[in-house]
C-alpha cells in the first residue's frame, strides 16, 4: 500500500511540474503579445505525447475554455501569411528549392464542438507568391498560370493545398482543437 501511495504522489508531483512548465510557457507567450499555443511539434520531440489530453485540459483552463480556444485559433489564423519556412518548422516536407507565401484569409467555421467526433475545419486561402521546382524547371506562380503549364498546374495546386491543410491541421492542435478533416478553398 505504501508503494502505491508513493507512486501516486510521485505521479501527481510529476503532473504538477508538467502543468507549471506549460503554464509558464503560455504566460510567457501572452506577456510577449502572442497567442498561447500548446506546441505539439515540440511535445512530440520531447516524447510527452502520452500527456496530450491532459495538456489540452490545462490549456482550456489557461485560456478560459474550449470556446475561447477556438476564438484564439480563429484570430490567429485569419489573414495569416504562411511561408515554406513556416511549414518546414511543423515538419511538413517542403523541397528546399520551393519558396512560397500563402494567405489564409479566414476560417469558415463559427465554433468548435468537442462532442462531435468527425468535424471538418474549412478555411479560405490565396497563393500570394511562389517559386517552385517542377519537371519544367523553376517556375513562378505567375508563370504556372500560363496555359502551356495546364498539365502540371493541377498537380502543383493540389500538392500546395495538401501541404497547407497539413500545416493548418498541426496548428489547430496547438490550440487544443481536434478537427478530423481539414478542407481549403480558393478565396479570391
Which candidate, 46, 95, 38, 97, places its Cα nearest to that of 63? 38
Instruction: Give 122-166 pLDDT, tens digit per residue.
Output: 999 999 999 998 888 899 999 988 888 888 888 888 889 999 999
Question: What's the pLDDT score for residue 63?
Answer: 97
Q: Is 99 left (phi over 0), alpha (psi -120 to 50) or beta?
A: beta
**Could you report the per-residue pLDDT of 6-23, keeping only the tens digit for each?**
444 455 677 888 899 999
> Which letter, b or e, does each residue of 132-164 get, where b requires 16 or more Cβ atoms within 10 Å of its Cβ?
bebeeeebebebbeeeeeeeeeeebeeebbebb
Let me know: does 29 contact 37? Beta carbons within 8 Å. Answer: yes
CA distances from 83 to 87, 128, 133, 141, 161 (A): 7, 10, 16, 14, 13
What's the confidence (pLDDT) of residue 23?
94
Residue 97 sits at φ, ψ, to 5 deg, of -80, -20
Average pLDDT in the 70-94 region? 93
Per mean pLDDT, which range of 13-17, 34-38, 42-46, 176-180 is the poorest? 13-17
Dist. CA 106–CA 80, nearest whole Å? 9
Helix ranges restricted to H, the chain: 2-31, 40-45, 52-63, 66-77, 84-89, 141-144, 150-174
Amino acid at each position: 500500500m505504501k508503494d502505491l501511495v508513493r507512486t501516486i504522489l510521485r505521479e501527481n508531483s510529476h503532473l504538477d511540474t508538467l502543468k507549471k512548465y506549460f503554464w509558464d510557457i503560455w504566460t510567457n507567450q501572452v506577456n510577449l503579445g502572442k497567442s498561447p499555443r500548446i506546441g505539439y511539434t515540440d511535445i512530440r520531440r520531447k516524447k510527452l505525447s502520452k500527456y496530450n489530453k491532459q495538456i489540452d485540459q490545462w490549456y482550456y483552463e489557461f485560456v478560459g475554455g474550449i470556446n475561447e480556444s477556438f476564438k484564439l485559433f480563429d484570430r490567429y489564423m485569419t489573414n495569416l501569411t504562411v511561408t515554406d519556412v513556416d511549414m518546414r518548422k511543423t515538419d511538413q516536407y517542403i523541397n528546399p528549392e520551393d519558396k512560397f507565401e500563402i494567405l489564409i484569409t479566414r476560417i469558415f467555421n463559427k465554433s468548435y464542438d468537442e462532442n462531435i467526433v468527425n468535424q471538418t475545419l474549412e478555411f479560405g486561402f490565396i497563393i500570394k507568391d511562389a517559386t517552385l521546382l517542377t519537371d519544367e524547371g523553376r517556375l513562378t506562380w505567375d508563370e504556372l498560370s500560363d496555359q502551356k503549364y495546364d498539365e502540371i498546374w493541377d498537380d502543383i495546386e493540389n500538392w500546395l493545398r495538401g501541404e497547407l491543410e497539413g500545416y493548418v491541421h498541426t496548428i489547430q492542435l496547438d490550440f487544443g482543437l481536434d478537427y478530423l478533416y481539414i478542407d481549403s478553398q480558393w478565396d479570391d
